[in-house]
A = this chain, B = another copy of it.
Amino acid sequence: MSTAPTSTTGATSPGRGLPGAGRWHGVVPGDGAASAPGATAAEQVAAVLRALALEGGLRPGEQLSEQALGAALGVSRNTLREAFRTLGEEGLVEHQPHRGVFVRLLRADDLRDLWALREVLECGALERAAAGTPPPPEAVGAVRTARRRGEEAATAGDWRTVGTANMALHAALAALAGSPRTDAAVRRLLAEVRLAFSAAPDPRAVHEPWLPANALLAELVEEGRLAEAVPVLREYLRASGRSAVASPPTA
């Protein structure tokens, strides 16, 4: 299991310890990974690291040294620790007491678990939305926007953005239920899903196949046919899960 080549650099490697350490400096100030200006430093740091992990800037299994990262990001160890705790609850990093914080490494079992729970949560949310009062226009708009963004990015060949839009679409579908706790749970799961995809060598192969299904789902939602969207989403997730498990990210 410890086949991870990155683990060897765990202790002290002045030159090669942290891959692309210097780049963090360029990421810190006013990075595109917008974090609210009013946010605290810990939240900003968490946002930066989240973006980094989700875009493949951090290798799964890699250890995040408090001292090195704190220096690179220009924050104190205490602030960095608060950010770590936030990311830990999101499932992006793993905290091992007295050992350190490691970028989460997802295995086949994790992927199965992830997709199984997604099916329960997302389909459950959509079912609730279908059973209750029609969702507000903004919620439907979010679905439409996510679909459009994904298709535009696909046209532009920006497959990583397609992946982002894809996650946004699923979040928007779940948000139709109008349940803040469902939203939070789905957000957590999708963060892990993105982490799993972040290491994919060919983003296009990962994201492109689902564009037609996304379009169908968005159209059903826009037409208010939520009940019909539920089985579509369920089949979608099952196929997607099989695909993800078949091509494990940590080949």
* Interchain nearest-CB distance for A228 vs B (Å): 19
B-contacting 9-mer, from A55-63, A134-142, A180-188: A180-188
Does A8 touch B at the CB level, under 8 Å? no
Does A38 touch B at the CB level, under 8 Å? yes
Q: A182, B97: Cβ atoms under 8 Å?
A: no
Does A103 touch B at the CB level, under 8 Å? no
Q: In the complex, which residues of chain B have a beta carbon less than 8 angstroms from the beta carbon of A39? A: 97
**Once bound together, how far apart are the Cα atoms of A46 and B180, in whole Å?**
24
**Once bound together, how far apart are the Cα atoms of A85 and B81, in whole Å?**
10
Does A117 touch B at the CB level, under 8 Å? yes
Q: B128, A181: Cβ atoms under 8 Å?
A: no
Total copies of this chain within the assembly: 2
Within 8 A of B (CB), among A114-167: 114, 116-117, 120-121, 124-125, 127-128
**Once bound together, how far apart are the Cα atoms of A86 and B125, in whole Å?**
26
Which residue of the partner chain B has the closest CB to A128?
B116
* Residue from the list B38, B82, B117, B179 in contact with A181, Cβ < 8 A: B117
Which residue of the partner chain B has the closest CB to A109?
B180
Does A250 touch B at the CB level, under 8 Å? no
Q: B120, A180: Cβ atoms under 8 Å?
A: no
Does A189 touch B at the CB level, under 8 Å? yes
Chain A 81-121 interface mask (CB, 8 Å, partner B; 1/0): 11001100100000001000000000000000110110011
Q: In the complex, which residues of chain B have a beta carbon less than 8 angstroms from the beta carbon of A114? A: 181
Does A78 touch B at the CB level, under 8 Å? yes
Q: B97, A185: Cβ atoms under 8 Å?
A: no
Q: B81, A179: Cβ atoms under 8 Å?
A: no
The 9 closest A-B pairs by CB, nearest first: A120-B124, A89-B89, A85-B85, A117-B181, A113-B179, A78-B78, A113-B181, A185-B185, A117-B182
Q: A38-B97, A82-B82, A185-B185 are known; give 17 further A-B pairs, CB within 8 A.
A: A39-B97, A78-B78, A81-B82, A82-B85, A85-B89, A113-B180, A113-B181, A113-B182, A114-B181, A116-B177, A116-B179, A117-B179, A117-B185, A120-B125, A120-B128, A120-B182, A121-B121
